[in-house]
Each structure stands twice: as C-alpha cells, then as structure tokens.
Amino acid sequence: MHTKRIIPCLDIKNGRVVKGIKFVDLKDAGEPSETAAAYDRAGADEVVFLDITASADNRNTQLEWVRNVASKLFIPFTVGGGIKSVDDFRAILREGADKIAINSAAIMNPELISEAADKFGSQCVVVAIDAKRRENGSGWTIYKNGGRVDMEMDAVEWAVTAQRLGAGEILLTSMDADGTKAGYDLELTKAVSGSVGIPVIASGGAGELSHFYDAINYAGAEAVLAASLFHYKELEISKVKEYLRDRNISVRI
C-alpha cells in the first residue's frame, strides 16, 4: 500500500485564508504563510494553496502570496487559481511551488494539461475538479470559476480525459459536501479513483477521524484534504495519522 497523505488546504481570498460551506459564506481563517508554517510543523505531508477568486476575477495568482508561503515550507506545495498558460506554470514554480493545480483553464483549454506535462512533467500537473451531484442523481457535473459556472460535463469522464492528456494527480472536491463536516462524498471519490490510474485527492466534507479512513479504505483516495477542520483546530494532523496508522493505513508519522 502506498503511503497516504494528509493535506491541509489554504483557500485564499484578498490575501487571507478563508473557509466557507458549499463554496459560500466565507469566513477569515488566518494569514497564509503563518498558517502554512504551522501545518508544516504539525506534520502535514503537503499544503495546497488555492487563490479561489483568481479565475472569476480574470487575473493571475498573486506571486507575492506564493513566495511568502513557499519561504515557510519544507514540504511539497501545490498552487492553483488563475493559471492559464505554461508561462504561468513557470512563474509560479520559480516562486517555490512544487505542483500546479489547474481547473477552469484546463476545462477551457485541455491541451494546457499536455503542454504543461511535456514541459514540467506529469508529476507537476494537478487537475482540480469541482463536482456537484446532478439533481436527478445520475452522476456529477463539473463547475469552473470557483464553483460558479456549471459546465454540464461529467466529472468521471473529465477525470479520465485529464489523465489521458497528462495529469499526474486529480484534486477532487465535492461541492455538495464542502464545509459540511458530514464526510467526503465516498461515491464520487470511488467513481473517480476507480476510473483513473493516477492518485486522487479527496476533498470536501471531512468532519471526524472516520471520514479520513473511509475516503482511503472504501473510496480509494491516495490522499485526503481538509481545511476548516484543521484551521480551527478541531482535529490535529497528528491525531488523524495516528488513527489511520492504528487501522493499518500507511502514513508518514
């Protein structure tokens, strides 16, 4: 079994970490670089940094924010938000990011996945998918611009396409579960992880220790991401890892 990763997520708006429920009602959760440094000390395996309004505002990720966070980290660091070109990849990697997450740009220009993978390697390219269950329950559709625009594209099919084009990882967020603390969308996660051969990071809905175990053991996630649970110290990363280790899940202690 691969070593599973515990990843806190920093959603950034106006230079601050924020967290909401189902992508709305955002509340302040701290300063990005200090929050990232605290997670590094706490034993996080990676940190994900998402500039959540960059695409909707039609601007690039703020390089200064990336630089400040990277200066405090000694673990892998993924950056997403407003990235539209290989040049944007290059600029953010130069500021200290290890991987780049693309969502809206990948949907609108799928060849960006291939171009970036050819230039920097698949391991650098993370395709982020924001998925919401269809009202008729028949599956999930994907959204762009931070969950604002329904693309009427199937989430599982898009994940398969992203892998074929060169993505090295899928960051899969359930919009229905986001911020609810009711658990990851196991059905969604299992559907995607069972359809691709690259790691899937489960995101959206973590609320208690068993949720992390279920996402890995039942739904096949290679990594589990959480935000508010860690930001507000409702759970410590070390406790999550101990819980998983005690249940024979391989983690880095």
The catalytic residues are: 11, 130
Neighbours of 250 (CB within 10 A): 11
State the Cα–Cα distance between residues 9 and 51, nearest whole angstrom: 11
Rg of the chain in Å (alpha carbons): 16
State the Cα–Cα distance between residues 227 and 230, nearest whole angstrom: 6
User: 């024979």: which residue's tokens?
Assistant: 248
Neighbours of 42 (CB within 10 A): 14
Closest CA to 104 of 51, 146, 160: 146
